[in-house]
Amino acid sequence: MTTSDLSSVTLLQLMSGNLDVPGAPVLNLALMYDSQSGAVAGEALITQAIAPPDGRILVRNVTGQVHGLGIGGATRVMSLKGDYVYILPPPAIGSVTEKFEATYVTDNQWKGHGSFQYGGKSVRNVPIKQRG
């Protein structure tokens, strides 16, 4: 890998959800973004102020693609997918694999709106922005 290959990779730390609504699910993303290919890969953490195990869901294998738009203020569309193991709460025994998906439209500063779905739940039309 050359130095120019490494300079095209950026760490994205993004946050999405209704942050002003108590108890609403919040999606945190830690993604490596390759601006040359548009590929993204990393992890997602969904947190919510509810009883375990639903209050903290970690998706370790998030992958996706970023495409350029150039429509008004929207310059990018990002689609993500992954899956995670959900441990069934007692009295059930075992675990199941659940799907994670997300789609966002953003500007060049990764600020925009979109939706995410996980484990049969859907969070629609929520803002996304860089953390920090």
Sketch the domain layout of the chain as residue ranges. 3-130
Distance CA 75, CA 7 (A): 21
* Tens of pLDDT, residues 21-74: 988 999 999 999 999 999 999 999 999 988 777 789 999 999 999 999 877 778
- Give the chain as a 3 state SS string: CCHHHHHCEEEEEEEEECCCCCCCCEEEEEEEEECCCCEEEEEEEEECCCCCCCCEEEEEEEEEEEEEEEECCEEEEEEEEEEEEEECCCCCCCEEEEEEEEEEEECCCCCEEEEEEECCEEEEEEEEEECC
pTM above 0.85, yes or no: yes
Distance CA 106, CA 78 (A): 8
CATH top class, domain 3-130? mainly beta
Quote the pLDDT of residue 123.
Answer: 97
Q: What's the token pair of residue 124?
A: 């629609």
* Tens of pLDDT, residues 94-125: 999 999 999 999 999 999 999 999 999 999 99
